[in-house]
């Protein structure tokens, strides 16, 4: 096990001597620091390493996907991913062909990305070029594997005859011969065979199964009118090509093929081509002569190109399930056990139709799970993961897909601006997606109000009231800490948490008590029905109204509000003295504004609260005011009653 | 591959604990030098020291952040027999668009313990501001701030006697109707015959008391750290334990089996995984945010990571190790990240010495579900 695990070293001597401890930090980082364990029984002494220069290492995974140049790949793939999910949700009967289209869409995204990378790599003169080259290698492999997987697992090949697709695959990834042939044909010069790459191109085209192209090229040869060439062109023209739609059964085709081989062989044996060395080679290759094939092996670098070529001439009707064995033979022949690259392993596994192995291998590619998550998702929807060896097949496949999507989504959530893309992936994880979103969404740093609103919107979409509440409370707390009380109250209101809003309202009241200034009057004036969330806020709102009326010199209204506040049972303990002192002004007002009944009531509250220490020196004053007001109120009311009577 | 940013902690001795805030933007460190330091990450990704103060008159063992809903609040515990709660205040002079000066004030000093306080943790957010401490003489204390706006008032709500000396504690973050408040406490008592070293406590709403619902009898070796996994909506809880090996224990409440008096369900306890990869004492366990990767630290000087794969089996996935001897011979500095422009190159490539040359094809099952 030990040998199989990746070990990463922290370049720090103290870390080695003392040992390290790791602590995770949101979202995808780990902090590593040198530390020495302590036991509860150990005494408090200086460690043998002190005094020392301890450092904390914040370790994170290097994510190439976060490179700006790959941003397009990321976003476009996300679009296609969503199309796949939409397609599967739509229950379309013909979904398989649609999936194939989407698979091609993925490939074209990779292709576009590769081209982009290549352009950049050409222009770039800095160290970054090397990185770009790395990316090109990675994504080239991705494209190559994706294409093969598409042929073997996504495409529904009639009759299972994969060869034409394989040839297409090889042609696509080794376009050199086609390009060269096009140049040769375009030039159409005399003495074309003097071009250094003429024969190479002819043989190359032959190996990719482009028989017509070979004929065309041979026609251009300056001795094309000679007998050997004419014979060769003739033979190639008559070469039977297998086509599933050709109406020819396999056995019939095989018979035809045998005829053609024996005919051509006899022409070769008659030494008709010996005057032209290459032509002879071509014909010997066509009939599958062992020695000839051994000769060309050297120039066919990758085994899979060679495999396609040899299948074309020997097993044109090969079925997908036979590929693995043939591929192994081919590797043994070409490589002779020479070191296989990673790409070779993946391609071999794919040809052996060993999906688990393919998925296992492609995780090793250093593109941070982009490839494996998208491909696994696609294969899952194609029903390919159901074939995994397990009792509970469908479940396992789905779980495998979800694991990759979870990892990929979490990775993106860790990025400052890609978190919304990450959400899209987590949304499609049926079992743990939502809980993961809950854990991660709350952890996104609330860097600006705009970003916070965005996060809240996403939480809202997914019906996560608790997350929203928590975010609002954090924002309120931050605003309050920075002295922006109005903002704090707004956020507290958004949190819909009564108790918490009360705490914020308390801050307003306490501030008023201390300074005599009510903060953010605009806001208080416009609270409307939102005050109902908390008693304390209702009190604050009413108290503000009292101030407003008082300032407008509507003393009567102000007095009414004040008395109703006293009676409301909403008054916080610490605010009684303020409220009662506010009454003095009204009691002593030039015009009588508090009726006798209200004055009695006021006195009752005063008697209830007169033990409050902060009220001590004011009790007398209030009583005096109350008494005087009571006298004029009673007088007035008697007169008023008389008038009425 | 990985990359790392080095932050010189400027402590005069080894660091005992590093805690990151809820968002991973702030870092608190504590050390034997009795200081606590707070670091903030700037928008350029660089960490800088913003506060440093002598917090205790003994080694500071642990430091932990409260949820930001309660403001910027830290708790520390120390050899000096106290735990303390700290709050960061912003000065009264905030200019336009500018933050005022900040400083940390001690809001309270919890002096109930008669011995070294070995761990301190804030309770789940939804329960208000609760704080649990445990001490070397085996007492667990639960404090509460009834008014979250006034952190100088803490009341000792519960005192639980645990017969063995306590080294670590963890709150279960999963809270719902079906899951009452739950705490797990570990003991590093050396006496193997003293029985299980991990205790599970649950709070019974019925009788308003904490009740020991279980002792993990399978863990008899000293326990140094313990951590509940984040809640992923599962019906069971996962508990990681650092003892002579790394354990992952699953605790599943058995439905319809509630104790009539306390109303608490019995737990079905299973060992989900056990790793002796460290080959020696394990000192620390830590879950990542989504509970998918467990990091453990042991006497072998390694931080090891374990991940659950798609068939719910835990597998080791990566190892981090300190080694100063490779600093000079590494030719892989190319993986230095973009922040390399900082003054003293704080970004050092964490070079994978083994990884580079590993034949990927030979890697066994363990790569099934690798590090993302």
Please indicate, yes or no, if residue B131 is contained in any of the structural domains: no
Strand order in B117-122's β-sheet?
B117-122, B129-135, B139-145, B155-161
Tell me the C-alpha distance between A494 and A528, whole Å: 14
What does the pLDDT look like over B244-281, one tens digit per residue? 999 999 999 888 777 777 778 888 999 999 999 999 99
Residue B249 lies in a domain: yes
Write the ipTM. 0.85
Question: Pick from B14, B232, B300: which is nearest to A18 by CB?
Answer: B14
pLDDT value at residue A391: 55
Which burial class, exposed, middle or buried, applies to B191 when counting CB atoms under 10 A from its CB (0-12, 13-18, 19+)? exposed
Are residues A33 and B15, on separate chains, in Cβ contact within 8 Å? Answer: yes
Whichever domain contains B232, its CATH number is 2.130.10.10
Q: What is the pTM of this model?
A: 0.87
In chain A, what is the straight-line distance between the N-terminal and C-terminal CA atoms, in Å?
A: 105
Instruction: Choose the closest CB to A47 out of B13, B310, B355.
Output: B13
Domain that holds residue B296: 162-372
* Bigger pLDDT: A348 vs B370: A348
Residue of B8, B296, B362 with shortest CB distance to A53: B8
Question: Do the Cβ atoms of B351 and A436 come closer than 8 Å?
Answer: no
pLDDT confidence of B371, banded at 50, 70, 90? very low
Lowest mean pLDDT among A128-132, B28-32, B152-156, B296-300: A128-132
B186 to chain A, minimum CA–CA distance in Å?
11
Q: B232 to chain A: nearest residue by CA?
A: A435
Residues of chain A falling short of pLDDT 70:
1-4, 50, 188, 298-301, 335-338, 387-395, 645
Is A477–B2 a contact, with Cβ atoms under 8 angstroms apart? Answer: no
- pLDDT given for residue A298 in this prediction: 61
Predicted pLDDT of residue A435 = 92
Number of domains in chain B: 1
Whole-Å CA distances, A72 to A66, A110, A135, A632, B178: 10, 10, 14, 82, 45
Q: What is the mean pLDDT of residues B102-119?
A: 94
Closest chain A CA to residue B186: A40
Q: Which two tokens stand for residue A444?
A: 């996104």
Predicted pLDDT of residue B99 = 53
Q: Is A107 exposed, middle or buried (0-12, 13-18, 19+ CB in 10 A)?
A: middle
Predicted pLDDT at A340: 78
Query: Does the pLDDT at position B98 exceed 70?
Result: no
> Which run of H or of E encompasses B241?
strand B237-242
For residue B79, what pLDDT is reported? 94
Residue B133 in any domain: the answer is no
B173 domain residue, yes or no = yes
pLDDT over threshold 60, residue B344: no
- Residue B358: pLDDT band (50, 70, 90) is very low
Contacts A434 to B, Cβ<8 Å: 233
CB contact (8 A) between residue A61 and residue B2: yes
The residues, ordered by sequence, that sit 6+ positions from A315 with a Cβ below 8 Å of its Cβ are: A163, A322, A326
pLDDT band per the 50, 70, 90 thresholds, residue B331: very low
A180, B31, B84 from A50: Cα distances, Å: 70, 11, 25
**B2 to A59: CB separation less than 8 angstroms, yes or no:** yes
- What integer pLDDT is reported at residue B36 of this predicted model? 96
- pLDDT higher than threshold 90 for residue B86: yes
pLDDT at B232 over 80: yes
Q: Which residues pair with B145 in a beta bridge?
A: B129
């Amino acid at each position: 096990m030990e040998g199989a695990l990746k070990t990463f070293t922290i370049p720090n001597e103290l870390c080695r001597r003392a040992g390290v401890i790791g602590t995770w930090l949101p979202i995808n980082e780990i902090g590593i620091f040198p530390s020495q364990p302590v036991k509860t029984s150990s005494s408090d002494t200086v460690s043998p390493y002190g005094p020392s220069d301890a450092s904390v290492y914040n370790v994170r995974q290097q994510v190439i996907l976060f490179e700006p140049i790959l941003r397009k790949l990321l976003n476009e793939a996300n679009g296609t991913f969503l199309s796949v999910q939409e397609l599967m949700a739509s229950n379309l009967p013909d979904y398989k062909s649609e999936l194939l289209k989407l698979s091609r869409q993925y490939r074209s995204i990779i292709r576009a990305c590769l081209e982009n990378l290549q352009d950049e790599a050409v222009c770039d003169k800095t160290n970054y070029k090397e990185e770009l080259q790395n990316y090109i290698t990675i994504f080239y492999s991705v494209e190559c594997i994706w294409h093969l997987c598409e042929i073997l697992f996504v495409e529904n090949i009639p009759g299972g005859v994969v060869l034409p697709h394989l040839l297409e695959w090889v042609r696509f990834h080794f376009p050199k011969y086609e390009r060269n042939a096009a140049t040769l044909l375009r030039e159409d010069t005399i003495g074309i065979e003097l071009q250094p790459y003429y024969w190479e191109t002819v043989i190359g085209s032959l190996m990719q199964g482009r028989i017509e192209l070979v004929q065309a090229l041979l026609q251009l040869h300056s001795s094309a009118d000679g007998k050997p060439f004419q014979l060769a062109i003739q033979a190639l023209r008559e070469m039977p090509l297998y086509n599933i739609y050709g109406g020819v059964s396999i056995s019939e085709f095989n018979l035809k093929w045998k005829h053609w081989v024996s005919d051509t062989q006899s022409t070769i044996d008659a030494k008709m081509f010996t005057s032209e060395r290459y032509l002879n080679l071509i014909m010997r290759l066509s009939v599958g002569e062992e020695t000839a094939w051994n000769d060309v092996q050297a120039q066919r670098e990758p085994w899979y190109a060679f495999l396609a070529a040899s299948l074309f001439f020997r097993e044109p009707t090969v079925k997908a399930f036979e590929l693995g064995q043939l591929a192994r033979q081919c590797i043994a022949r070409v490589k002779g056990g020479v070191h296989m690259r990673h790409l070779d392993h993946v391609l071999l596994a794919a040809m052996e139709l060993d999906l688990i192995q393919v998925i296992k291998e492609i995780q090793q590619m250093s593109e941070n799970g982009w490839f494996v998550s998208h491909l696994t998702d696609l294969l899952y929807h194609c029903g390919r993961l159901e074939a995994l060896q397990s009792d509970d097949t469908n479940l396992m496949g789905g779980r495998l897909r979800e694991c990759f999507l979870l990892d990929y989504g979490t990775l993106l959530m860790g990025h400052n601006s890609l978190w919304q893309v990450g959400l899209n992936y987590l949304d499609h994880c049926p079992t743990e997606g939502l809980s993961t979103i809950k854990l991660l969404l709350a952890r996104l740093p609330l860097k600006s109000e705009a970003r916070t609103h965005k996060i809240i919107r996403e939480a809202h979409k997914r019906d996560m009231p608790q997350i929203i509440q928590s975010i609002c409370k954090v924002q309120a707390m931050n605003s309050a800490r920075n002295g922006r009380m109005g903002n704090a109250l707004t956020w507290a209101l958004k949190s819909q948490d009564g108790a918490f809003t009360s705490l914020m309202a308390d801050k307003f009241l306490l501030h008023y008590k201390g300074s005599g200034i009510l903060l953010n009057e605009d806001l208080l004036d416009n609270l409307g029905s939102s005050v109902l969330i908390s008693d304390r806020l209702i009190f604050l709102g009413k108290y503000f109204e009292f101030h407003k009326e008082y300032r407008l010199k509507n003393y009567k209204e102000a007095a009414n509000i004040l008395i109703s506040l006293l009676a409301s049972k909403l008054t916080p303990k610490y605010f009684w003295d303020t409220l009662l002192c506010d009454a003095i002004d009204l009691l002593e007002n030039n015009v009588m504004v508090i009726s006798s009944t209200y004055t009695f009531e006021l006195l009752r509250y005063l008697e209830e609260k007169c033990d409050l220490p902060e009220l001590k020196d004011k009790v007398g004053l209030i009583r005096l005011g109350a008494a005087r007001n009571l006298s004029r109120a009673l007088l007035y009311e008697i007169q008023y009653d008389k008038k009425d009577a | 591959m990985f990359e790392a940013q080095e932050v010189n902690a400027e402590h005069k001795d080894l660091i005992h604990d590093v805690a990151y805030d809820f968002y991973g933007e702030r870092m608190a460190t504590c050390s034997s030098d009795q200081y606590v330091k707070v670091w903030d990450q700037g928008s350029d990704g660089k960490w800088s020291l913003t506060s440093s103060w002598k917090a205790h008159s003994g080694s500071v063992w642990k430091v932990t952040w409260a949820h930001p809903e309660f403001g910027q609040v830290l708790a520390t515990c120390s050899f000096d027999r106290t735990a303390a709660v700290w709050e960061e205040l912003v000065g009264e002079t905030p200019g336009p668009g500018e933050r005022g000066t900040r400083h940390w004030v001690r809001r309270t000093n919890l002096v109930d313990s008669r011995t070294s306080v070995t761990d301190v943790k804030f309770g789940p957010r939804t329960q208000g501001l609760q704080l649990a401490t445990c001490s070397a003489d085996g007492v667990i204390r639960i404090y509460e701030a009834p008014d979250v706006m006034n952190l100088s008032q803490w009341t000792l709500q519960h005192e639980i006697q645990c017969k063995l000396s306590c080294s670590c504690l963890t709150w279960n973050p999963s809270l719902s109707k079906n899951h009452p408040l739950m705490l797990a406490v570990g003991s590093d008592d050396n006496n193997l015959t003293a029985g299980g070293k991990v205790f599970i406590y649950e709070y019974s709403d019925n009788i308003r008391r904490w009740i020991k619902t279980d002792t993990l009898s399978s863990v008899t070796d000293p326990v140094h750290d313990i951590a509940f996994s984040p809640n992923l909506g599962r019906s069971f809880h996962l508990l990681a334990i650092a003892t002579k090996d790394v354990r992952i224990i699953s605790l599943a409440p058995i439905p319809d089996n509630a104790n009539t008096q306390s109303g608490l369900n019995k737990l079905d306890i299973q060992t989900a995984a056990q790793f002796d990869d460290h080959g020696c004492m394990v000192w620390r366990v830590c879950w990542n945010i989504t509970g998918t990767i467990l990091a453990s630290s042991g006497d072998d000087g390694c931080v090891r990571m374990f991940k659950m794969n798609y068939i719910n089996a835990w597998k080791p996935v990566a190892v981090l190790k300190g080694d100063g001897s490779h600093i000079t011979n590494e030719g892989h500095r190319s993986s230095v990240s973009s922040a390399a422009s900082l003054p003293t190159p704080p970004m050092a490539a964490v070079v994978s010495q083994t990884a580079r040359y590993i034949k990927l094809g030979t890697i066994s099952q363990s790569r099934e579900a690798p590090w993302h």
